[in-house]
Structure 1
Amino acid sequence: MDITSYIKSQLNDEQGEAALHIDTSSLIIAGAGSGKTRTLIYKIAYLIRGKHIPVQKILAVTFTNKAANEMKERLLKISEEISSGTRDADRGTKDSIQSSGANAKDLDSSLRSEGQYLDDSLGDFLNAMQSSAPANTSANRLLPHTLKWIGTFHSIFLKILKEDIEKLGMKYTKNFGIYDSNESQSIMKDVLKRLGLQDIYKIPEAKVFISIQKNNGLDPKGAIKILKTDHDQSMYKIYEEYQKELENNNSLDFDDLLLLPYLLFKKNPVILKKRNDHFDYILVDEAQDTNRIQFELMKMLGGENANMTLIGDDYQSIYGWRGALMENFLNVKKYRPDIQMFKLQINYRSRPHIVHAGNQIIKNNVNQYEKNIVAHRTGDDKITIFSHASEMDEAANIVDLIKKMKDQGKVKNRNQVAILYRTNAQSSPFEQLFLQEGIPYKVWGAYKFFERKEIKDTLSYIKYILNPQDNISLKRILNVPTRKIGKTTIETIEELAIDQNTNMHEILIHISDLGVKLTPAATKGIEEFLTTMIGIRTQLKKLTPAELIETLIKKIKYRDYLVKEEGGEPQADEKYENIGQLINMAQKYDLRKTANEEPGSIVGEELLRQFMEEVALLSDISENESGEIEAVKLMTAHSSKGLEFPIVFIVGLEDYIFPLANAMQDPKTLEEERRLMYVAVTRAKDVLFLSHAHSRMTRGQTKMNPPSRFLDEISPDLVKRYDLGGGGTDDEPRQNVDEGDSVMHKLFGKGYVLEVWNNLTIVKFHNPKFGVRKIEMRFLQVIGKDE
């Protein structure tokens, strides 16, 4: 069997056509679960072994080091197998694979552990080449060092700079260094101080601005031509000084690895021509996620003659917020008129009802390539849509369902289950319940809730307010937000406390009497800090824990601090939303003023201490369980890209949550939100649950958002709906629950009713972990009446 026939035997017809087409450039539009990277690797193998293209003439670009290394390893393996000419008759051809009810993609899936990155086994198909690969006695074996042009964008252009950076006409030499994030932040800190702008611009804010310029191909000279406002002019000065400092240190930051080659090619046509002549074939994985400078660099390297393969899925373009331009992918024919399009439309991952739902959602977008994704797998299941009363009910019902599925053997391992949400803050109620129920979980791609900086900062303030002797908390918060109290000053205060056998708080109070030399700014910062803390302490008795946290955050202007630290409002708002979730957690402690005591007998300080005790227990459990392997996965929809799970819950599906509020008025942003929903839906292999709540607490306020519009885009025949949130008919029987009744809750156990408001009750549960909670009457079973 020749290599062309062999490759055809290992791929479906769509994949085979795309892999074997090399006469013109190719645009391969690959639907979710359709074997995208598998096809790409086969194409490279065909170029090397079928068409005998020298590997040095092939440039293959990926987005992650992991994917690049995997590609290299598999290509080396296939080379050995072809060279040895080994066989295995049992592997057979595509016909025998399909006759057994499986496809090559299914074989990959059987080798893949559930929920792992798909890229982990994208090359496993190469193992099959020893079964029927054509004999090749060529001595021209593929060696590791020949694969230097397979890599990430940054690694590829680093190689180019190592050869030609001195031709830029700058101070750089070939021995240049590359600064990591901390090192470049240190440079930026010095620059801001030198310009006297350290109190106006924060390091992340300036770095984000510069990164945007660089990813648009603009050095300081290029940026000044388009900057107009006073703010822009100040940023230009920062950019200019920052670049001078990098150049003086013969060092680059990460963005320079793309900017400098771009400038090099524009300035030196001879060098660009040398690279044009070097590469005959250029292949770009995940091409829909390229930003402006990445796409321009590919166009430059390709020139007019290189054969280009762009492979990706416009349905899964979800990184517009960080500069990805899907228009590059959609408008490729403008600069490559002869490019031939191939579509991979067979999904080997998901069952039909999931594939159909994804199709129905994504078809509502306008700016995309039309595809009709079909499922290779069979089945007639339906998607389950849950409605809940609130976000806590949503979490309680889903956690309870996961418990039952595990107990009944429907879930063999908890890592088969993933809960996806739009923003990190939405993990909080699930984390609380998983911790309380002793169910191991893993937050994917983010810190656990109590490990997040903004939460630690807030809790440190509360600890200090409750216990001024807490030096650890005081050190954390004294200059957060910034009060111009430097590290040296804090160290001096700490040393004085040690010398005088006291705490740092006492030193702060008497610092003016101790002869400590401080800058006027630091002195003022300490005075403002103490004044603010005294003001907060005086309100302890009259404020509930939730009110105190909200007052504290406003007093110290923590949101303004986040905006500067994170480099913009969108990034800051997500972290601020996490503090809102902490406020939500503290809300229930307001209700304890009615628990067995006269109103007001438990003052705010005691409530705050109780809240902090619960937080301490939850934080401790979080640390102890962080190493669990058999764990439910929690992650944002963005973090789920490239993953798959047998069972997926997508939660918080309400307008203004998913899609986000800012997408409701912007069609382009709404389309990206819909693509993100498509990505989330197509992570599910077997079972998909979609969930929304009638009300949701946001930053301490209850909001009533309508169900997500994306739910209405799925046809009724694909779903079954369950209203668990009080949305039933008015004539449904309602049990009589009265104050003093003993009740049972399916998740929180036994308790007794403190108050009844219409269909809501205030219940104190016997288990101190759950305390006092607001519960809808229909979730309670009366087990004893108060006579």
Structure 2
Amino acid sequence: MQFGDFFTKKKNELGVTLNEVQKEAVLTNEGPLLLLASPGSGKTTTIIMKIGYLIEVLGVHPSRIKAVTFSRASAKDMEERFQRFFPDLPLVDFSTIHSLAYQVVREYFAKQRIEYQLIEGNNEGYNKKIILRDIYKAINHEPITEDQLEELITFISYIKNKLIPENEWSSISISIPKKEQIVKRYEQFKTNGSPKLLLDFDDMLIIANQVLENNKDILRRYQERYDYILTDESQDTSLVQHFIIEKLVQQHQNLCVVADEDQSIYSWRGAEPQYLLDFKKIYPNAKILMMVQNYRSSKDIVEVANTFIKQNKKRYNKNMFTENPSHERIKIKSLKDYQVQATYLINQISTIDNLQDVAILYRNNSSSILLIDAFDKANIPFYMKDVDNRFFHHWVVEDIKNFMRLSYNTSRVDVFERIYSKFNGYFKLSQMEQLKKVQNNESVFDNLLSSVKLEDYQNKKIVHFKKTYDRMHDASPKRVLQMIRDDLGFERVLEYRSEKFGYNLNNLIELLNTLEQIADSTTTMVEFVNRLNHLDSLMKTSKFNKGKNAVTFSTLHSSKGLEFQTVYMIDLIDGIIPSHTKDEDEGGEEEREEEVRLFYVGMTRAIAHLELISYARKFHAPVKKSEFIDQVHQIMHPNDQKKPIKREKKVKERPANPNGIKERSLLKVGLKVKHIVFGPGEIVSCDDELLEIRFNNGKKKFQIATCLKQGFLEIE
């Protein structure tokens, strides 16, 4: 069969017509090829047609072709598409890079008679998350939160995928205390902690790369197994993954890499977009083709998105275009307040018949909570692309529930034990142990006052806590939440624990604000807790709405590869997108370019209607809309008499004072100190959290943790 006959046959059978660049990609099969595929450019169709051409026209046996993609879902999608296009052909080997690496590792360990066990997924026995939880607690003497656990797992994956040596781990900024010590002990445990060698998914990549580097027999077998290798979504591929592929194609170099550096949004997981920019250095004979015709979106969206992405410097000079007609301009909506955002969306979407054509995209999963609450009340079905129910099981939410439980029966010592350290009363474990010995079914506050040895300052606080609980009985759930935050001092405790353990205080406060908004529509604490449980269940069961007449909720990251007639991008404010990145001279420019790419990915999901939504206030505090919205506005209205948007240079934080007091033990009543702002003074009181200093113009209180961390105080 001639290639012309092949294209004609597929046009007649499937109605598939390729443009000239797509045809050239299908016909280019000898040597390395980098196929840069803009959003909506038909890359999957082109890859499938290329594989079919190899088999039907060039006579390549399907077993000699290896197709590698980023995720199982992508591999399955390509396999299903191939079967539809070529129902009479045997299946090609479609898999993830992890699956390929696992084959190599399994074969190597079998030869070496090494027993091993995977510690991820649903395998019985050792579990990665449990191991890391135990190690964190042993080292930091504090349970790890779910957010911290995810950050720790991401950090481990990052250093492995980027092959970062141990002596450079400390240079990577994350909020996990003693992260290097934790990772070292984790690696030691996997080697020596069980009779078998324990492996996580990233270990498979590392070991596979080492095996192919050092074991010539296995390398040769895999090199001889495949004559053609194709990799999809290669902008998401990490350094170690690229190295594995490099080794496999060393002999024949018949490699087709399909990617778009403009859609590289996973650098935090180790993705290496720079590899694509250096492709010609690695493969000097490579051919580079650019598939830039967008078949998905209207001209209005494509032209703006194409101009928007050009602000990035680290990219190929390509111009996405479309022959689709104009439909309507991108809509920019600025609301007065965050709390009306969900109502606005409901009003807009309630007029749409086919909800499956609608997506709401956001940066963080936390944005979905109030959407779920509002859409449930409006009886609009939804499907969540990536369910993350950490909100409903977050330790702060559990603490709030326990504070409320205690209000129904203040004699519940078991409930008080779960939250005693979360009161702003500086209760000690020894005091809790004394309290547990008192079994008279009286209020925990009365028993603390009568039967537990207290510090002088605690008596007054306990009386205050008791009075607060007395007032809770007749209060609304929202008012109870405010009492817990303010009168019981829970918010002060969160500030202290954030400084001590590296929690993100803004996220914790926003979580409390979200709880307050959910509570606003309930009348009793039981109703409020039931509402939380209902929303939790609704989130989990939303997966059953996939493919049904339901609105899609998705993070921007998880939306890649999807398309919808109507897309709403929400919560577009400064600090969310773009997030607060480092200074340019500290690598902030690379972070910012990824923020631009993420916004670009969101824009290019839309077929006909794209709406960008921001607001002026969030939970009573003013916020700034995303600068990306202003950029989009100026692209659409170039003749507006507005000054060009200038990015504000970030002011560097003041470095910690090298002469500042660093030891907590030095802070004692009577010590004369010098504050970097208020000058000379004398410490007049000092407890676990706060110290009070008398200056010439009066007394002031300070957080001890902040003073020690920043070196605000010197010995006078």
**What's the TM-score, normalizing by structure 2?**
0.71
Aligned residue number for residue 151 of structure 1: 95
For the structure 1 residues 81 and 453, does the alpha-carbon distance in structure 2 shift closer, same or farther, using more than 3 Å as the test?
same
Provide the C-alpha distance between the structure 2 equivalents of 1:278 and 1:532, rounded to a whole number of angstroms.
73
Aligned residue number for residue 688 of structure 2: none
Aligned residue number for residue 66 of structure 1: 73
Alpha-carbon distance, 1:441 to partner? 3.1
Conserved 8 A contact 2:406-2:412: no
Alpha-carbon distance, 1:715 to partner? 4.4
SS in 2 for 1:676: helix
Conserved 8 A contact 2:574-2:623: no
Aligned equivalent of 1:582, options 515, 521, 533: 515
Q: State yes or no: 1:325 paired with 2:272.
A: yes
Q: State yes or no: 1:342 paired with 2:296.
A: no
Q: Deviations over 1:338-389 (max 9, x none)?
A: 1111111121111111111211211111111122222242234222211211
Q: State yes or no: 1:5 paired with 2:12.
A: no
Q: Deviations over 1:480-526 (max 9, x none)?
A: 98x9x99xx99xx9xx99xx9989x989979x99xxxxxxxxx99xx
Provide the C-alpha distance between the structure 1 equivalents of 2:45 and 2:229, rounded to a whole number of angstroms.
17
Aligned residue number for residue 162 of structure 1: 106
Provide the C-alpha distance between the structure 2 equivalents of 1:711 and 1:427, rounded to a whole number of angstroms.
25
Conserved 8 A contact 1:431-1:449: no
Aligned equivalent of 1:712, options 631, 639, 659: 631
Q: State yes or no: 1:554 paired with 2:491.
A: yes
For the structure 1 residues 269 and 50, does the alpha-carbon distance in structure 2 shift closer, same or farther, using more than 3 Å as the test?
same
Aligned residue number for residue 658 of structure 1: 577
The amino acid of 1:651's aligned partner reads I
Aligned residue number for residue 223 of structure 1: 166
| Percent of residue pairs bearing the same amino acid type | 26
Aligned residue number for residue 698 of structure 2: none
Aligned equivalent of 2:368, options 423, 427, 436: 427
For the structure 1 residues 234 and 200, does the alpha-carbon distance in structure 2 shift closer, same or farther, using more than 3 Å as the test?
farther
Q: State yes or no: 1:197 paired with 2:139.
A: yes
SS in 2 for 1:647: strand
Aligned equivalent of 1:278, options 203, 216, 225: 225
Aligned equivalent of 1:30, options 29, 33, 37: 37
Q: Deviations over 1:189-238 (max 9, x none)?
A: 56568xx52616849376555433332336xxx63687799947634641
Alpha-carbon distance, 1:614 to partner? 5.0
Provide the C-alpha distance between the structure 2 equivalents of 1:470 and 1:617, rounded to a whole number of angstroms.
26
How many equivalent pairs are there? 595
SS in 2 for 1:661: coil
Give 1:195-274 correspondences, 5 Å limit.
Answer: 196-197=138-139, 199=141, 202=144, 204=149, 207-217=153-163, 223=166, 231=178, 234-235=181-182, 237-245=184-192, 248-274=195-221
Measured on the aligned residues, the alpha-carbon RMSD in Å equals: 4.6
Provide the C-alpha distance between the structure 1 equivalents of 2:576 and 2:51, rounded to a whole number of angstroms.
42
Alpha-carbon distance, 1:433 to partner? 3.0
For the structure 1 residues 391 and 478, does the alpha-carbon distance in structure 2 shift closer, same or farther, using more than 3 Å as the test?
closer
For the structure 1 residues 257 and 650, does the alpha-carbon distance in structure 2 shift closer, same or farther, using more than 3 Å as the test?
same
Provide the C-alpha distance between the structure 1 equivalents of 2:420 and 2:72, rounded to a whole number of angstroms.
38
Provide the C-alpha distance between the structure 1 equivalents of 2:152 and 2:571, rounded to a whole number of angstroms.
34
Q: State yes or no: 1:359 paired with 2:366.
A: no
Conserved 8 A contact 2:336-2:615: yes
Q: State yes or no: 1:687 paired with 2:631.
A: no
Conserved 8 A contact 2:399-2:419: no
For the structure 1 residues 676 and 537, does the alpha-carbon distance in structure 2 shift closer, same or farther, using more than 3 Å as the test?
farther
The amino acid of 2:280's aligned partner reads K
For the structure 1 residues 431 and 278, does the alpha-carbon distance in structure 2 shift closer, same or farther, using more than 3 Å as the test?
closer
For the structure 1 residues 432 and 563, does the alpha-carbon distance in structure 2 shift closer, same or farther, using more than 3 Å as the test?
farther
- Gaps of at least 5 residues in structure 1 are 83-141, 514-522, 590-607, 722-787
The amino acid of 1:581's aligned partner reads T
Aligned residue number for residue 96 of structure 1: none
Aligned equivalent of 1:180, options 120, 134, 137: 120
The amino acid of 1:223's aligned partner reads E
Conserved 8 A contact 2:32-2:285: yes
**What's the TM-score, normalizing by structure 1?**
0.65
Aligned equivalent of 2:359, options 418, 430, 441: 418
Provide the C-alpha distance between the structure 2 equivalents of 1:534 and 1:415, rounded to a whole number of angstroms.
56
For the structure 1 residues 360 and 245, does the alpha-carbon distance in structure 2 shift closer, same or farther, using more than 3 Å as the test?
same
Provide the C-alpha distance between the structure 2 equivalents of 1:32 and 1:437, rounded to a whole number of angstroms.
34
Conserved 8 A contact 1:460-1:474: no
Give 1:282-681 correspondences, 5 Å limit.
Answer: 282-303=229-250, 305-403=252-350, 406=351, 411-447=352-388, 451-454=392-395, 456-468=397-409, 474=415, 477=418, 536=465, 538-539=467-468, 541=471, 544-545=479-480, 547-551=482-486, 553-557=490-494, 560=497, 577-583=510-516, 610=524, 613-614=527-528, 616-617=530-531, 620=534, 623=537, 629-662=548-581, 666-681=588-603
Q: Deviations over 1:255-313 (max 9, x none)?
A: 21111112223333443344334333221110001112111212222225321111011
Alpha-carbon distance, 1:683 to partner? 1.0
Alpha-carbon distance, 1:642 to partner? 1.8
Aligned residue number for residue 92 of structure 1: none
Provide the C-alpha distance between the structure 2 equivalents of 1:192 and 1:422, rounded to a whole number of angstroms.
28
Conserved 8 A contact 2:359-2:554: yes
Provide the C-alpha distance between the structure 1 equivalents of 2:596 and 2:240, rounded to a whole number of angstroms.
26
For the structure 1 residues 364 and 657, does the alpha-carbon distance in structure 2 shift closer, same or farther, using more than 3 Å as the test?
same
SS in 1 for 2:88: helix
Q: Deviations over 1:558-591 (max 9, x none)?
A: 8948997xxx767x865664334334556x79xx
Alpha-carbon distance, 1:630 to partner? 3.1
Provide the C-alpha distance between the structure 1 equivalents of 2:108 and 2:228, rounded to a whole number of angstroms.
22
Provide the C-alpha distance between the structure 1 equivalents of 2:26 and 2:518, rounded to a whole number of angstroms.
54
Q: Deviations over 1:305-340 (max 9, x none)?
A: 321111011111111122212111221111111111
Alpha-carbon distance, 1:392 to partner? 1.9
The amino acid of 2:310's aligned partner reads K
The amino acid of 2:376's aligned partner reads L
The amino acid of 1:65's aligned partner reads R
For the structure 1 residues 189 and 358, does the alpha-carbon distance in structure 2 shift closer, same or farther, using more than 3 Å as the test?
closer
Conserved 8 A contact 1:385-1:720: no
Alpha-carbon distance, 1:166 to partner? 5.1
For the structure 1 residues 450 and 70, does the alpha-carbon distance in structure 2 shift closer, same or farther, using more than 3 Å as the test?
closer
Alpha-carbon distance, 1:36 to partner? 1.0
SS in 1 for 2:229: strand
For the structure 1 residues 654 and 243, does the alpha-carbon distance in structure 2 shift closer, same or farther, using more than 3 Å as the test?
same
SS in 2 for 1:282: strand
For the structure 1 residues 223 and 583, does the alpha-carbon distance in structure 2 shift closer, same or farther, using more than 3 Å as the test?
same
Task: Name the stretch that deviates more: 682-691 or 531-540.
Answer: 531-540
Aligned residue number for residue 19 of structure 1: 26
For the structure 1 residues 282 and 549, does the alpha-carbon distance in structure 2 shift closer, same or farther, using more than 3 Å as the test?
farther
